[in-house]
């Protein structure tokens, strides 16, 4: 069965600074990887996904993520954060032919002025 670990529970970053959120997955075959964002009182919104091909994936809102098979990682990055990026971020892994997603516990991002 697949699983996801997000090592950082909470990250505080200054507005305009760069952001990197870590995600490590466990899965025997090639995983399908996702990053979702959840703002307070909202549902989850897909930021980006990786299925195959180019290991650097571009998403919405200026986010990107890099798949590194050797490290079983799929870290999310943004070069310059905005106050509106304050939210909770979830990494998820899925498998081909199985629509079920396994989510990490999430990382809460606080943006200070």
Partner 1 sequence: EAGVAQSPRYKIIEKRQSVAFWCNPISGHATLYWYQQILGQGPKLLIQFQNNGVVDDSQLPKDRFSAERLKGVDSTLKIQPAKLEDSAVYLCASSPTGQPLPEQYFGPGTRLTVT
Give the residues lining the site for partner 1 (CB under 8 A): 4, 32, 36, 41-46, 49, 51, 90, 92, 94-97, 99-101, 103-106
Measured from the Cβ of residue 108, the count of other Cβ atoms closer than 10 Å reads: 14
Least spacing, CB of residue 113 vs partner 1, in Å: 26
Residue (17 or 46) nearer to partner 1, CB: 46
CB 33 within 8 A of CB 103: no
Least spacing, CB of residue 21 vs partner 1, in Å: 13
What's the rounded Cα separation, in Å, for the pair 109 and 112? 10
């Amino acid at each position: 069965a697949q699983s996801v670990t997000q090592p950082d529970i909470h990250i505080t970053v200054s507005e305009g600074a760069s952001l990197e959120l870590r995600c490590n997955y466990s899965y025997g075959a090639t995983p399908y990887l996702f990053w979702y964002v959840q703002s307070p009182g909202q549902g989850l919104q897909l930021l980006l996904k990786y299925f195959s091909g180019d290991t650097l994936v571009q998403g919405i809102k200026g986010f990107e993520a890099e798949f590194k098979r050797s490290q079983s990682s799929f870290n999310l990055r943004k070069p310059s954060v905005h106050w509106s990026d304050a939210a909770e971020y979830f990494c998820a892994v899925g498998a081909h032919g199985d629509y079920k997603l396994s989510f990490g516990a999430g990382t809460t991002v606080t943006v200070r002025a």
